[in-house]
Amino acid sequence: MESKLSSENVVEIRDLHFSYGSRKILNGINLTVPRGKTVAVLGTGGCGKTTLLRLISGQLKPERGQVLVDGVDVHALDNDGLYQLRRKMGVMFQVSGLFSDLSVYENIAFPMREHTDLSERMIRDLVLMKLHAVGLRGAHGMMPRELSGGMERRVALARAIALDPMLIMYDEPFAGLDPISLNVIANLLRRLNDALGVSSIVVTYDVSESLKVVDHVCFLSDGVIVTEGPTAEILESDDAFVRQFIHAEPDGPVPFHYPAKPLGVDLGFKQA
């Protein structure tokens, strides 16, 4: 199915629902990612941010709703069609997802060998360029087990951009990074969009860093987008949810405690 808005948006999500068993995760998500823009999806841990990325990439199937990527209905594709569509995507996984038995160099080279007919000389040059962009060209011969957590995530980013994809999805890209690396990666994310014209989705709970580099912000809570807007407008928003999240306030629309009986009931001091 071709989207009428496919020339404007690289991703369109319409009334998307998803559950893990009886636990509802997404309850009617509507979201668009314009071409060439960076969109942040912010929310607390466990609100469904990573699940949303898995639905976009076709790793999960929704209960109902639709995900269009480049005008194509992701969940209407067969395996071959999904494989072809994924060639246009780059993903920086939350836990890096590096091949543990391959060196840093071989991890970056893998998608190039899998999806292109480039010569080994060209692959070598591209791998070193991608690693140089994240400050790890000198670590190309190391194994993943030899990397620090921050270094591992930077290699994961280099692999996500290996094929200069149309769409890059970042799952908690700032987690585990020291302040210097965090600043470099945040700026690189922004430069990639501006220089290559790619589109990006950043899912994170790191408000301060994401708001520095994204064009549009969406807040996810209770399975829906509760509010969204251009970054400048979000920073000036008086919305209670936005204010609580940006300023890390303990009291507000987002409860700190997961739903449960009163503590006294669980401890046997009171009746339910």
**pLDDT digits 0-9 by tens, 116-147:** 999 999 999 999 999 998 889 999 999 999 99
Q: Do 184 and 132 meet the contact criterion of CB atoms below 8 Å apart?
A: no
Distance (Å, whole) CA 148 – CA 237: 38
Distance of CA 119 to the CA centre of its chain: 31
Distance of CA 96 to the CA centre of its chain: 12
Non-local (6+) Cβ contacts of 208 within 8 A are none
- The neighbouring-strand residues paired with 39 are 201, 216
**Is 234 in a helix, a strand, or coil?**
helix
Local structure of residue 259 (DSSP, 8 states): S
* Per-domain boundaries in the chain: 1-88+166-181+197-272, 100-164
User: In the chain, which stretches have pLDDT less than 70?
Assistant: 1-7, 247-258, 270-272
Distance (Å, whole) CA 229 – CA 14: 18
Burial of residue 77 (number of CB atoms within 10 Å: 0-12, 13-18, 19+): middle
The pLDDT value recorded for residue 24 is 92
Per CATH, the number for 1-88+166-181+197-272 is 3.40.50.300
Local structure of residue 75 (DSSP, 8 states): G
Q: Do 47 and 31 meet the contact criterion of CB atoms below 8 Å apart?
A: no
Candidates 70, 97, 63; CA nearest to 85 is: 70
The pLDDT value recorded for residue 207 is 79
Phi, psi of 42 (to 5 degrees): -105, 150
